[in-house]
Amino acid sequence: MSNPLKDHREIGRELELFTTSDLVGSGLPLFTPKGTIIRDILSGYSEQLQKDAGYEKVWIPHIAKEELYKNSGHWDKFGGELFKVKSQETKDLFILKPMNCPHHIQIYASKPKSYKDLPVRYFETTTVYRDEKSGELGGLLRVRSVTQDDAHIFCTMEQVEQELLIIINMVEKMYKALNMKFSLRLSFRDPKTPEKYLGTTEQWNEAEKIIKNVAKKTGLKYSVAIGEAAFYAPKIDIMVTDSQNREWQLATEQVDLVQPSRFKITYLDSDGNKKTPIMIHKALLGSIERFLSVYLEHTQGNFPLWISPVQVKILPVSIKHNDFANKIFKLLKENNIRTELDETNSTVGLKIRNATLQKIPYMFIIGDREVQKSEKIIKTSKDAFVSIRTREGKDLNSKNLYEFIQNLNKQIGNFQ
């Protein structure tokens, strides 16, 4: 009988990835060293894809004056979900940022731009805050501190299609690496309720036309969802199907013709006339917390080697093998393999069971045979041998350690 599938909260607890605290507050998860490794690897991969595509990293503070969000429209739309912070000295009201786009607009606006400067592509991985209702919070799926691999592109109308296609290309690379299938959902406004959206009918029609053209050019499967647009922009939402055949909305790209106008940002065209740029919002993972809730259940904690917080567990058969096991441990660390060493006085069977429950991809078993076969380890790593077992219970038998480390680094290097 197959093991029952586990909820991401149970997996996170068993693998010691994240925790919560009543003193910190509900909807505010705390990530352990192992959980933070996974977060950093995923966000690092996302950031590398963006750097390769010509994006530039920026940094913004976590609070801003209320006027910023009144200009952007977030105050009117999400006033009840905003965390408010009052200065004890000046009594000014500040807001914990619910979105990053108004801040990025201010960076764009800090210096005049011409058409030759466009597209401008800003990105950062940062946390936003929303006062979600306590009854709606659940594990990592819905939280009050939302970390996004966020980006904003400022471009001309003629550049929009190409920028959207670049984003789709990054999405394809990301989800292929994660072994997750996806389709596109074109999230458009509902024309029956125009009061829910900012901007003119002409702006929305133009943006939706561009999005549909891009979807057709990708050749990917897509559907249209009326009423699922953001209040300021239509979207291409990335709908990911997990191993349990459930569909989730994770990544997104949005064509925004509204906020640039509200903030009156411009560029000079080839004739020296002021024009309003188009703004594209992008996220590859979306909310990292939400993504992890889906990914933990998709993999059931069996992460690919490059994501696993511990890639190798070294298991000496008895205490007398600990010295040699420590040499192997040091060697793996020097080769940037994430490694743990079990020096407890437990049976090797129990050590294997614990490492298997922790979903560690590889176990190195160190006993008399490995020590005797590797007497020259002090002189050169090329002479060392270890017995290897996988988390699936497959014995790979005795392997040359030097060659196996090279193989591990080759697998990991494909994604870093």
- Per-residue pLDDT of 91-100, as tens digits, reads 888 999 999 9
pLDDT value at 396 more than 60: yes
Amino acid letter at 259?
Answer: Q
pLDDT in tens, 337-353: 999 999 999 999 999 99
What pLDDT does residue 375 have? 62
Q: Which residues are registered as beta bridge partners of 86?
A: 93
> In the chain, which segments carry CATH 3.40.50.800?
312-413
State the catalytic residue, choosing from 50, 148, 203, 254. 148
pLDDT value at 248 more than 90: yes
Average pLDDT of span 103-130: 97
* Crossing angle between the packed helical segments 33-52 and 160-177, to the nearest 10 degrees: 140
pLDDT value at 391 more than 80: yes
Average pLDDT of span 267-293: 96
pLDDT in tens, 200-224: 888 899 899 999 999 999 999 999 9
Average pLDDT of span 361-387: 74
Q: Which two tokens stand for residue 402?
A: 């030097």
From the candidate CATH numbers 2.30.40.10, 3.40.50.800, 2.60.120.260, 3.10.20.340, the one assigned to the domain spanning 312-413: 3.40.50.800
State the catalytic residue, choosing from 152, 189, 282, 298. 152
pLDDT value at 378 more than 60: no
Q: How many residues does the chain have?
A: 416
Q: Is residue 104 among the annotated active site residues?
A: no
* Crossing angle between the packed helical segments 401-413 and 322-334, to the nearest 10 degrees: 40
pLDDT value at 2 more than 70: no
CA separation for the pair 136, 239 (Å, rounded): 22
State the catalytic residue, choosing from 189, 281, 359, 391. 281
66 close to 74: Cβ distance less than 8 angstroms: no
- Confidence band, pLDDT 50/70/90 cuts, at residue 1: very low
pLDDT value at 75 more than 90: no
Amino acid letter at 361?
Answer: P
Average pLDDT of span 115-129: 97
State the catalytic residue, choosing from 97, 103, 130, 359. 130
State the catalytic residue, choosing from 8, 101, 256, 311. 101
CA separation for the pair 144, 334 (Å, rounded): 39
What pLDDT does residue 380 have? 53
- Confidence band, pLDDT 50/70/90 cuts, at residue 113: very high
Average pLDDT of span 288-307: 97
| Fold designation for 8-299 | BirA Bifunctional Protein; domain 2 (3.30.930)
Strand blocks (E) in 208-260: 222-226, 235-241, 247-256
Average pLDDT of span 138-153: 95
- Confidence band, pLDDT 50/70/90 cuts, at residue 357: very high
Q: Is residue 101 among the annotated active site residues?
A: yes
Q: To the nearest whole percent, how much of the chain has pLDDT over 90?
A: 75
What pLDDT does residue 376 have? 54
List, in order, residues 6 or more apart from 6 with CB less than 8 Å away.
Answer: 14, 297, 300, 301
What pLDDT does residue 381 have? 52
Average pLDDT of span 65-71: 92
Q: Is residue 150 among the annotated active site residues?
A: yes
What pLDDT does residue 416 have? 57
> In the chain, which segments carry CATH 3.30.930.10?
8-299
What are the φ/ψ torsions at residue 145 (nearest 5 degrees)?
A: -115, 110
Q: Is residue 275 among the annotated active site residues?
A: no
Beta strands 84-86; 56-57: pairing state: unpaired
Q: Is residue 155 among the annotated active site residues?
A: no
